[in-house]
Amino acid sequence: MNKKIINIAVIAHVDAGKSTLVDAFLSQAGVFRANEEVKEQVMDSNDQERERGITIYSKNCSIEYKDYKINIVDTPGHADFSSEVERIMKTVDTVILLVDSTEGPMPQTRFVLSKALELKLKPILLINKIDKKDQRALEVVDEVLELFMELDADEEQLEFPTLFGIAREGIVQYSIEETSKNLEPLFETIIKQVGCYPLELANEPIQLQISSLAYDSFIGRLGIGRLFKGVLKENQQIVVSKNDKTTVKAKISGLFIYQGLKRVAVKEAQAGEIVVVSGISELTIGDTICDPENIDPLPPIIIEQPTMSMNFLVNTSPFAGKVGKFLTTRNIKERLEKELEVNVGLRVEPLSNSSADGFKVLGRGELHLSVLIETMRREGFEIGISRPEVIFKVDEKGNKLEPVEKVIIDVPTEFAGTVINKLNLRKGIMLDMHSDGVRDKVVYKVPTRGLIGFKTEFINDTRGEGVFVKSIIGYEDYKGKIDGRQNGVLISMANGVTLPYALNNLEERGILFVGPQVNVYDGMIIGLHSRNNDLNVNPTTGKKLTNTRASGSDDSVKLTPPKTFTLEEAIEFIEWDELVEVTPNDIRLRKKWLSENERKQHRNDPH
């Protein structure tokens, strides 16, 4: 008790080095044993986080420095997971804004910084990766200052301290010229900038707002949040003030705090601490835990609304149920309800005016929703996924509005013309362009609709050398029709196994998505047609056997390796009348209506 507590969050754009900086914090604070083997990005513990190399969920840890306890929150840098950032901002005293010394402030930097400034936090700027050959750290400081002014920072916030560092080596220094061996300048700046949480607030009635939820298979649902006032005790009787202003009586059965990377059970916790509570079944994000004698709820946590939706449908393909364990509408409904408890950026609605069994799932972007789909797939679900659709709004005058994103691309000059042309076709408007003769940096404003399917094309057009980042900037007037995929698809018209002879003949028709000895069904998409119409083909046809033999007629068939899709690429590829069939083992593309007659009936029906 009576500890000096400071809570900080590390915020930045993707790949600026947030998780690496947290690694350095933990290492230099002595959290790891001398002989302990430590993974890089130790906070990115989720399988998908490690595979994708990004942070998806915000996480907590703590370190001790001198007589201070510093709670650290590692946050996602991708725009699709900004709801994770929004809700934890209230729990911290300051934020370390990490900016790459070469890239400067990126779209997501603007978003996370605006949330911090709205809550009157005083950020600390850390220019990272100053060991890069093309670093321009001092220019970047000026760019960040301009960003602060654009976001209406007050005079106190504009006096932000600036530090320079190499997170990978655990070094932070006060200036470019100075040298340092550790993070001490950053620790000292945090203490000077914030000071500890007011100790006198421990004498007031308890007030704890839930900013995150978790689940433990032994103790049930966990609520995570900052204790703003009072001293919270294990087995204490409390009142939960819900977001809808109703109240529920409950008891704290378990109380935990963070020590290093571990969650540790304690008998009591003081004001300022980030705590984890168990024993309250009906707990949601934004709820305030209060003293029964003094119910004083905090304002609810407001999360930005979803911008994109997909339909999660029961898998109706002929292969349904061969691999997965969870197939029914009830299974999908229960899983989505469980996800809603912890994923605040998500919404689920029943499908209206549809004969299909499933749900409309609304999220913050393709990646936000595809992470959920991938998680469900690994858990044993089989589902059909529809093409992503943006969520439109209507203003007071009845005008149709759609989400618009700021896009920054950095490409070799030789590819810039192709990329610019494609963004123009997708109703993009160029805002800025710089070139150094080798690479071009282009800033665009593009409707979210126009960016569906663009990333895969961008990677192909720039041969993997381009950098593409985007972030939602708001809603604007509807931009009109945007053309989708230019090519049709090759559709299997037979059930069976693909044969090399048939595939060899089909190669001249387009690009194949399946190899030989693959099970296919009527209505399954097996390739991209070289023309703009769909073509029904039979990939199961074998060579007719005769008694005639001729030199060269029985040579082995040499096939081009088929194009395979990741989940995100498959979702981007499909059109309105197509689905992605997701199972634990396979990702297949198919037509929504499997038989040719049904497809003809619905040919002109975009819904």
- How far from the centroid of its chain's Cα atoms is residue 78's Cα? 5
18 assigned ligand-binding residue: yes
* Distance separating alpha carbons of residues 143 and 160, to the nearest angstrom: 14
427 assigned ligand-binding residue: no
* Distance separating alpha carbons of residues 86 and 343, to the nearest angstrom: 12
19 assigned ligand-binding residue: yes
Check if the beta carbon of residue 134 is closer than 8 Å to that of residue 102.
yes
3-state DSSP of 142-176: HHHHHHHHHCCCCHHHHCCCEEEEEHHHCEEECCC
Check if the beta carbon of residue 376 is closer than 8 Å to that of residue 383.
yes
Burial class (CB in 10 A: 0-12, 13-18, 19+), 184: middle
16 assigned ligand-binding residue: yes
120 assigned ligand-binding residue: no
39 assigned ligand-binding residue: no
544 assigned ligand-binding residue: no
* Distance separating alpha carbons of residues 519 and 526, to the nearest angstrom: 11
Tokens read off for 179: 């040298």
**Residues 6 or more apart in contact with residue 354 via CB below 8 angstroms:** 311
Check if the beta carbon of residue 208 is closer than 8 Å to that of residue 275.
yes
**Residues 6 or more apart in contact with residue 501 via CB below 8 angstroms:** 541, 542, 543, 557
- For residue 582, how many other CB atoms are within 10 A of its CB? 24
477 assigned ligand-binding residue: no
130 assigned ligand-binding residue: yes
Tokens read off for 81: 């997971």
23 assigned ligand-binding residue: no
**Residues 6 or more apart in contact with residue 320 via CB below 8 angstroms:** 327, 382
Which residues are known binding-site members?
A: 15-20, 128-131
Which residues are known binding-site members for GTP?
A: 15-20, 128-131
